[in-house]
Structure 1
Amino acid sequence: MNNTLALRDRIRDKALSLGFDAVGFAEARLGPEARIRLADFLASGAHGEMDWLAARQEQRSDPRTLWPEARSVIALGLSYAPDEDPRAIQERPDRGGISVYARNRDYHDVVRGMLKHLAQFMVKAAGGADVKVFVDTAPVMEKPLAERAGLGWQGKHTNLVSRRHGSWLFLGEIYTTLELPPSARSAGGCGSCTACLAACPTDAFPAPYRLDARRCISYLTIEHAGPIPHEFRAAIGNRIYGCDDCLAACPWNRFAGVAREAKLQARDDLRAPPLAELAALDEAGFRARFAGSPIKRIGRDRFVRNVLIAIGNAQTPALSGAALALLRDPDPVVAEAAAWAVGKLRPA
């Protein structure tokens, strides 16, 4: 046990030296509550078009189904806490609101690189242990594993909450054949607070700890491929990629320091980009502007669709030209959003 404790401490120290803000250890298994919550979520259809969540449900529910040799999970957290309240952009309707996590480099690339360095250290330190690294791209239940590893707890908004970092942690995991002593569970909790639930513009939380992704602005602006349902368009406001309202409302954020990783700090041109400028992006311009950004994944058409919804909500006649220019866009979803925006700005 002393040897494994010493190895665990070395791994923690190395992770922190690499720039991770939170490190924890857990047995490579999940309790029944996590599996039940996932099964209920999928059975209700609340995952919407995210079929990949259901495709490998069994592997997602049990780390050892994904990798039978796994014995321990190292859960890592990297803070992306902003230097300003992300909700402030809502007071500038001619500008686009981009979720905090997407204002610079793609966190998958940043975290994956750090995990690989840590994994290499582990293999060398343990004399050849097997490891696998994951960053939101495999059937891994990151938040329940992080909770078991003591990084925090799943809040009523279903995201992880940390006593030190609030709701602003990117998560990554290393599965390993090493048997490492588990960390103590984190103290803290949500108590009677419902600030995150009340903050949601589209009432996407039917109950505490339950999310209906089909009503979530992050889902609608990122994962949803077709026209955005009319019932949600006004509530979206000027949010053109994701939404941070439930995260930003969490009182535990008062303990969070600004993200230290420079690649996760907001680019100046993505803090409050002008909607008219974004609406004018063609495919080449979109790819150039968002190279290396997670925004690039959704493509120009879906992004411009979001921009047009924001333009329609802006109630700023000066933006009508940007919408009119897209009425004949080759993508029918973009053209429909342009027609809707024009109707809002220049009602018959």
Structure 2
Amino acid sequence: MRSRCTLLCVALCLLVASFQAAQADGKNGRLDLYFIDVEGGAATLLVTPAGESVLIDSGYPDNMGRDRDRILKVVREVAKLDHIDHAVVSHWHMDHYGNHASITAEIPIRTFWDRGIPDTLSDDKQFPDRIALYRAASQNESRTLHAGDTFEMQGQKLPLKVRVLTGSREVVPNSGEPNPFASEHKAKAEDKSDNAASLSLLFELGKFRFLTCGDLTWNVEAQLVTPNNPVGKVDLFMVTHHGLGVSNNPVFVKAIDPVVDVMCNGPSKGGDPAVIATLRSCPSFQALYQLHRNLSAKAEQQAPAEFIANAGDTNDCQGTWVKASVAPDGESYTVQIGPDGAQRTFNTRGTSK
């Protein structure tokens, strides 16, 4: 326990030191979140009010550098960054860490974070080769995140707080208010894949709360929020596991009751109509944004066309991103599709606006 606390203290000191050196990027103190289209993988870039950057996951490898280049375009041309401060791997599937090594060959990544590197991974026969590339990119110095870890990142008006809720199949203690939906949980067969080991991260700027859970699956979602809900309700939710039905347990989704959802699906991956129905059933639901139209689902089973970033198949895809931007006081946030999309404003829950 003492060694773990020491490690966390050292990590926090390094974070604070790097935050103090960071320069604001002209965002007027806003927290910006970019949901980058990596065709049904995941890559989310956060730029804090102090200009600190966090890249969570990095899409698929190969495909002639498609996902790598889309990420770098957002990092360099849209967010105007010349480095990435923190790169996080939610779990060890190639659509989530496939480009960490190739990105750091193009732009500096200062610190790598993950759930810990396993010796083997039954999910992926190529894991030894892929993890060797990651180890080389991180110089074998990636830092391990555990359920219950907390960080405070420097802001301008308010600090950005980060809490790790799950990791390596562990969850935070089951405190908080009773979950009124707990009795609805129906367990599924145990998920032995690395999806169930995903990191879940809760970001808070004032009253604003954003939750991303990687590919966390059904039973661990329920374990996190039953019988009590230590997460609370959130404003913005990155729909888990690309909107697949093996995740997004209604007991979990209804407990966190998100106002706005962003789904990082592909044209033929994720976007399950049953998951979308669950999101819409939440009392606080106002909007769902999809990175892709689900080509096999009916129009009424998914978000309206104006809330879908990419409408065609992979061959025609322009890789348009979705951006959320949080006001410096955390009282409101905007969401838009691409650089020229309509900007919609939402009030943070619990505010007087």
TM category (shorter chain) comes to: under 0.3
Bigger radius of gyration among the two: 1
TM-score with structure 2 setting the length:
0.25
Indicate the structure with greater strand content: 2
TM-score with structure 1 setting the length:
0.26
Indicate the structure with greater helix content: 1
